[in-house]
């Protein structure tokens, strides 16, 4: 482990780089995994237990602390916090179109990417735990996909855990990808209806944007084309507490008068720029490459979201009333549309057709769980379905649920200090 130490007002940060096996079945080949240990100023030499944070995603690095506030502030009252950049993200050896070029063939790229699911993320975490604190257990805080990592940890190495907190991230243990995306489409339809109820004038604005994009080639500021389908992927924001407003205020500025003096309108460059900031598919390719693989166990996803789309005619672009945004779905056309995904198209096809994915969750072992778990389950969560979370909780003992409609999926970001405080009290039996 190599490390450096820096400080912020109220925080001390130890930045650590670990050399770990890329493939734990063949440990000679290594990768680098980064983790940042965060401690409240003045608490560096205490014997506080550790808590590791698993970020949502997949494919996103851990948060970058800017001060002792929010959920981090609450965690640091009782723990030393480990912010893990999951393999392939952040300051860990990254997966990007640039770094993947060096692997050569699409098959080699796909073989490499298969090492970047929750099973190996948890193996990395266990290796880091042992280097940091030996046999002492630590806690977990898992947000969204981080909850998937937490359930894998409970299944694979519960002896390393003292307690688990999950926010919006209890997966189904056995359901195939098709079940997940059928549920997702239904939830996204509901969110669209709520959006248009709040902003009914946006129906015509959205129809107009879609018509324009189907008739005119529009180039994004960083390259690539803005298609109607890409525009409608903005619905990915609808599961956040501020998602409706983010999209509403964006589409208000979609058009400007052109420069030809004929009052012919064209897409506003500012609109295109801000739209691009809301879409991280180019910068976080793991999300597009591995999203459906989050759910596959001894089966291929075969582009589940794309196959199932025909079951939901509500998403037709030909509708004359309410054109629907899509949500957390990945489509093969994205690998023709987003510039940084194009070089990975063949690898994505191989991954989608792969049926050799290992089992992620040992259900029988989870039925014997003794690690205390407290989880916030958001009643109207668009991304992780409440019914599936409750189904899992009925299987896994020692798991307490806080089912709430007070928050959307971003509850940890929106009111993290209160959310973590409630979960800590639950896991300790104080509420």
Q: What is the pLDDT of residues 55-100, one digit of tens each?
A: 999 999 999 999 999 999 999 999 999 999 999 999 999 999 999 9
Report the pLDDT averaged over residues 284-288.
Answer: 97
Structure tokens at 330: 């990945």
- Count of residues in the chain: 431
Q: Catalytic site residue 409? A: yes
For residue 329, the model assigns a pLDDT of 97
Give the mean pLDDT of the chain: 96
pTM equals 0.96
Residue 262, pLDDT above cutoff 80:
no
CA–CA gap between residue 6 and residue 73 (Å, rounded): 18
CA–CA gap between residue 100 and residue 53 (Å, rounded): 27
Residue 320, pLDDT above cutoff 90:
no
Residue 384, pLDDT above cutoff 80:
yes
Residues 6+ apart with CB under 8 A from 98: none
Residue 168, pLDDT above cutoff 80:
yes
Q: Are 65 and 309 in contact (CB under 8 A)?
A: no
Greater confidence, 320 or 10? 10
Cα angle, residue 306 at apex, residues 327 and 177 outer, rounded to 5°: 80
Dihedral of the CA atoms 226, 327, 147, 125 (nearest 10)? -20
What is the DSSP code string of 83-137?
EEE-TBSTTSSB--HHHHHTT-SHHHHHHHHTT-SHHHHHHHHHHHHHHHHTT--
CATH fold, domain 2-174+361-427, is: Rossmann fold (3.40.50)
Q: Shortest CA distance to 139 belongs to which of 91, 66, 78? A: 78
What are 12's strand-pairing partners?
A: 7, 39
Burial (CB count within 10 angstroms: exposed 0-12, middle 13-18, buried 19+), residue 233: buried
CA–CA gap between residue 77 and residue 240 (Å, rounded): 27
For residue 258, the model assigns a pLDDT of 75
Among candidate residues 144, 150, 301, 389, the one labeled active-site is: 144
Report the pLDDT averaged over residues 301-320.
Answer: 95
Among candidate residues 172, 178, 381, 385, the one labeled active-site is: 381
Report the pLDDT averaged over residues 114-140.
Answer: 97
For residue 319, the model assigns a pLDDT of 86
pLDDT classification of 402: cutoffs 50, 70, 90:
very high
CA–CA gap between residue 130 and residue 188 (Å, rounded): 42
CA–CA gap between residue 88 and residue 91 (Å, rounded): 8
- HSE (CB half, 13 Å, CA atoms) of 5? 5
Residue found under tokens 């924001």: 237
Residue 47 DSSP label: -
Cα angle, residue 33 at apex, residues 30 and 35 outer, rounded to 5°: 155
* Cα torsion angle, 212, 341, 60, 363, sign: positive
What are 37's strand-pairing partners?
A: 14, 82
For residue 368, the model assigns a pLDDT of 97
Residue 164, pLDDT above cutoff 80:
yes
For residue 265, the model assigns a pLDDT of 84
pLDDT classification of 386: cutoffs 50, 70, 90:
very high
**Domain map of the chain by residue range?**
2-174+361-427, 177-352
pLDDT classification of 257: cutoffs 50, 70, 90:
confident
Q: Shortest CA distance to 152 belongs to which of 422, 412, 357? A: 357
Share of the chain above pLDDT 90, in %: 95
Residue 263, pLDDT above cutoff 70:
no
């Amino acid at each position: 482990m190599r490390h450096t130490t820096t400080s912020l007002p109220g925080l001390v940060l130890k930045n650590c780089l670990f050399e770990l096996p890329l493939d734990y079945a063949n440990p000679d080949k290594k990768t680098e995994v980064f983790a940042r240990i965060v401690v409240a100023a003045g608490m560096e030499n205490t014997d506080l237990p550790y808590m590791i944070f698993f970020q949502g995603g997949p494919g996103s690095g851990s948060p970058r602390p800017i001060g002792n506030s929010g959920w981090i502030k609450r965690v640091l009252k009782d723990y030393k916090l480990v912010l893990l950049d999951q393999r392939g993200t952040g300051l860990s050896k990254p997966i990007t179109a640039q770094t993947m070029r060096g692997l050569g063939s699409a098959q080699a790229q796909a073989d490499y990417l298969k090492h970047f699911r929750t099973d190996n993320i948890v193996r990395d975490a266990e290796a880091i735990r042992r280097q940091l604190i030996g046999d002492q257990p630590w806690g977990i805080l898992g947000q969204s996909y981080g909850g998937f990592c937490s359930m894998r940890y409970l299944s694979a190495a519960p002896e390393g855990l003292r307690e688990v907190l999950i926010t919006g991230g209890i997966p189904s243990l056995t359901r195939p990808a098709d079940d997940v995306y059928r549920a997702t489409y239904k939830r996204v339809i509901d969110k669209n209806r709520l959006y248009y109820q709040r902003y009914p004038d946006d129906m015509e604005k959205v129809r107009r944007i879609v018509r324009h994009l189907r008739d005119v080639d529009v180039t994004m500021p960083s390259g690539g084309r803005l298609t109607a389908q890409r525009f409608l992927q903005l619905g990915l924001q609808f599961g956040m507490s501020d998602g409706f407003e983010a999209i509403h205020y964006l589409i208000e500025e979609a058009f400007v008068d052109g420069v030809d003096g004929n009052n012919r309108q064209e897409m506003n460059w500012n609109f295109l720029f801000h739209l691009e900031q809301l879409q991280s598919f180019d910068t976080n390719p793991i999300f597009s490459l591995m999203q459906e693989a989050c759910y596959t166990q001894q089966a291929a996803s075969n582009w589940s979201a794309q196959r199932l789309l025909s079951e939901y005619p509500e998403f037709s672009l030909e509708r004359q009333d309410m054109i629907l945004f899509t949500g957390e779905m990945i489509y093969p056309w994205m690998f023709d549309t987003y510039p940084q995904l194009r070089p990975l198209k063949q690898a994505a096809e191989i991954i989608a057709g792969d049926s050799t994915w290992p089992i992620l969750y040992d259900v029988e072992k989870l039925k014997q769980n003794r690690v205390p778990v407290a989880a916030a389950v958001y009643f109207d969560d668009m991304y992780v379905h409440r019914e599936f979370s409750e189904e899992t909780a009925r299987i896994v003992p020692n798991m307490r649920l806080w089912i709430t409609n007070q928050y959307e999926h971003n509850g940890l970001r929106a009111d993290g200090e209160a959310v973590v405080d409630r979960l800590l009290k639950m896991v300790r039996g104080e509420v």
